[in-house]
Structure formats: structure tokens, C-alpha cells
A and B are shown apart, each in its own frame.
Chain A
Amino acid sequence: MAAPDIVMYEEEFSQIKQIIAKLKLDANAKVVFLVDKNGQQIAAHGEIENLDTTSLASLTAGNVAATDGLARLIGEKEFSILFHEGERDNIHISIVAQRVILVVIFDERSSLGLVRLRVKKASTELADVFGRILSKVERERAVAGAAFESPFAEITDEDIDSLFSE
């Protein structure tokens, strides 16, 4: 595989959830969520009951990928912040640690300036957490070597067949 798989552990997951919950509060936002660059949702917090977060995650990643492509065309490395302004709600998208996407949805109760300020602080904290996750994964792989015990090591054909039986 080209890039290492992201593996999320309990400890870091709860740290991430804390950071985005605090960001939602500090930025006075409606929703804060975190997606990896491939469109997988990592965590979400806020008014997400009526929100299709899976689609949101995939479209956000598509949006960021397309914008990255645009950036490269004009000789930029990336556009690290995207902002979409709507009549009621706005979306602020930023890249954390060149690897994950932080999305903040907010309305007139907040402002772009406040969101940018709070996102900056939260981004630094999130980058730390993801740095720890990566080194943890690498450490575990190094220690375990080829014998790294995957929870999927014993998947059988029957397991896969049963996924498709309806």
C-alpha cells in the first residue's frame, strides 16, 4: 500500500473529540467535524442529527482534492483554507497536518474572524494528536514486525459471504 493505514485508538480518539467539542464551543459554531483526505469521517460534534455526515465527508474531501489540483496548476502547494458563504450557514474548511480536513459550519451567531482564530489554535492541538497517532502506529509495527497481529488476520470466506447474504 502506498501510505500507511490510519489506525485510530481509543485514547487519541477521545482527545480528538475533546478538541473539536471545545472548538465548537469557542467558535460558537453549529457543527465541527474531522475528515481524512480520502473522505472518511473521523469525528463530528454539534447539531448533526439532521445532517448527512457521510455525504458531507465525501464531498468535502472531493472539494479539497479538486482545490489541491487547482493549487498545483498555478504553482501553489495547497490552499490551506477554503471558505463557502451561504445565505444562512457558512462552511470553513482547513487542512490539519497536511493529512486531515477540519470543517466548521457556522451561522450569524459567529463570524469568519472568530472561526479562523479558534481553528488556528485547535489545528495545532489536532496536529499534535495526529503526530502521536502516526508514531504510535509506526512504533507498534516496528515492535511487532511482520507478526503484527491484525484483527482481520482470520477472516474467512464464510465471513465475507455472510456480509453479502440478505
Chain B
Amino acid sequence: MTFINYASREINCKIVYYGCGLCGKTTNLQYIYDKTNPTAKGRLISLATETDRTLFFDFLPLELGTVRGFKTRFHLYTVPGQVFYDASRKLILKGVDGVIFVADSQVERMDANIESVDNLVINLKGQGYDLMSIPYVLQLNKRDLPNVATADELRRVLARKNEPVFEAVASKGIGVFETLKGVAKLVLSELTKAG
């Protein structure tokens, strides 16, 4: 649910990073935070446990610049990945404009990825959205680790539609901005349709 303010000429979009526990959602946000011009970003808020596992969400407001005279802001959220935080995950999807699914490329996390994508579909439906029509991209993270499945294999198992797929190493920043840009493009072009 994009918020368009004609009075102050601003447009705000909500992007959610989804994925199983420890797949690198917060790492994506942290990298974006570290690499963004201080004037363009707000504070990175992390509601995490003492061991740095996301408890509720991470939040990063990002100001990207102007499109057609409108100041464009993206609010980036992550969800807690662990299975038992499902109630929190549902809440964060409320009003979402675009979703990035972060997949852990390691072979032994394949089942967790599949479970998480299925969970995303269900929780989106709970908020009245359909994964098939919402702006959505897939990020294959942790490509630098030794025991990873091939990109083709991951794509075959995890892709739900013809979504853009990005390979990434979030801890080193590889593919992080490409992924964000990919979903931003889809969200903004959705606006050209919806009006």
C-alpha cells in the first residue's frame, strides 16, 4: 500500500526481506546502511535478542531521490526468520509493496528455504496479497560458501513465477544493491499501472 502524499510531494514504499532463519536478511540491511550516504538514510532499528537474532523486525528508511518531482522513500523491513515467530512475520507484511526473498544457498538449508517460501505465500494471502501479482524478487545468498546448491537448482526449487533472481554474498555486499534495485523497479513500475 504505497503512500502518496501530494501535499508534500512524497512517495513512500514498504519493502520486506523474507527468508528462513540466518539466511542473511539483516546482513543485507546492514550492508545497505553501511554503504549509504548519511543524508539519504535514517537510523537502522534492530529489534533483536541478546544474541542478535531478529525478534520483531529491522527497519531502515532510505531516501533515494526524486522521480517525476516526487521524493522517493523506501522503508526496508526484515522479518524474524525463525519458524516460531510466525505471528510477528504476519504483522510485518501488512501494507507491503514489494518482497525480497533471501534464500540460503547451502544445500542443508534447502528444506528451510522451501518451508519459508511456502510460509510467505500463506502469510501474504492472510494480508490479502497474492505472491503471483506482488512485486517480488529472489536473492540467492551466501554464494561464496563451499557447500552450496547450484543457482539453477535453487531457481528450479524456489522460483514461484518468472521473478528476477539475483546471486549475492550479502556479508561482502555482492548483489545487495542489485537485489534492492530489482524490487524497487518492480514496485515503481507497479505504480505506473495502479495509478
**Which A positions have Cβ atoms within 8 angstroms of B?**
1-10, 13-14, 36-40, 42, 52, 54-55, 58-59, 62, 65-66, 68-69, 141, 144, 148-155, 157, 159-160, 162-164, 166
Contact residues in A for B92 (Cβ distance below 8 Å): 62, 65
Closest CB-CB distance, A73 to chain B, in whole Å?
Answer: 8
Contact residues in A for B87 (Cβ distance below 8 Å): 69
15 further contact pairs, Cβ within 8 A, besides A2-B127, A54-B61, A62-B59: A2-B129, A3-B95, A4-B1, A5-B2, A36-B3, A40-B75, A55-B42, A55-B59, A62-B92, A69-B90, A148-B195, A150-B194, A151-B69, A159-B188, A164-B184
Contact B67 A159 (CB under 8 A): yes
- Best-buried of B3, B129, B188 by chain A (most CB within 10 Å): B3
Q: How many residues of B contact A (CB 8 A)?
A: 48
Contact A10 B6 (CB under 8 A): yes
Q: Indicate whether A150 sits within 8 Å of B128 (C-beta atoms), given known contacts A3-B95, A58-B45, A155-B189.
A: no
B192 sits at the interface (CB 8 A):
yes
Complex Cα distance A85/B21, Å? 34
Chain A to chain B: the 8 pairs with minimum beta-carbon distance, closest first: A38-B95, A2-B128, A13-B7, A150-B195, A148-B195, A65-B91, A152-B191, A40-B3
Count of inter-chain pairs, beta carbons less than 8 A: 136
Contact residues in B for A150 (Cβ distance below 8 Å): 191-192, 194-195
Complex Cα distance A128/B195, Å? 25
Complex Cα distance A67/B39, Å? 33
Closest CB-CB distance, B5 to chain A, in whole Å?
Answer: 4
B17 sits at the interface (CB 8 A):
no
Contact B72 A163 (CB under 8 A): yes
B88 sits at the interface (CB 8 A):
yes
Complex Cα distance A59/B69, Å? 28
Contact A160 B184 (CB under 8 A): yes
B12 sits at the interface (CB 8 A):
yes
Contact residues in B for A1 (Cβ distance below 8 Å): 1, 129, 194
Contact residues in B for A37 (Cβ distance below 8 Å): 94-95
Contact residues in B for A149 (Cβ distance below 8 Å): 195
Q: What is the interface of chain A mostly: helix, strand, loop, or mixed?
A: mixed
Which residue on chain B has the smallest CB distance to residue A10?
B7
Complex Cα distance A59/B59, Å? 9
28 A-B pairs whose Cβ atoms sit less than 8 Å apart in the complex: A5-B1, A6-B4, A9-B6, A10-B7, A36-B95, A37-B94, A38-B3, A38-B14, A40-B12, A40-B75, A54-B42, A55-B43, A58-B61, A65-B91, A66-B88, A69-B87, A69-B90, A69-B91, A141-B195, A150-B192, A151-B70, A152-B11, A152-B188, A153-B192, A155-B188, A155-B189, A162-B65, A164-B64
Complex Cα distance A73/B42, Å? 34
Name the interface residues of B111-160: CB closer than 8 Å to any CB of A.
127-129
Complex Cα distance A87/B185, Å? 46
Contact B1 A55 (CB under 8 A): no
Q: Indicate whether A5 sits within 8 Å of B194 (C-beta atoms), given known contacts A14-B7, A38-B3.
A: yes
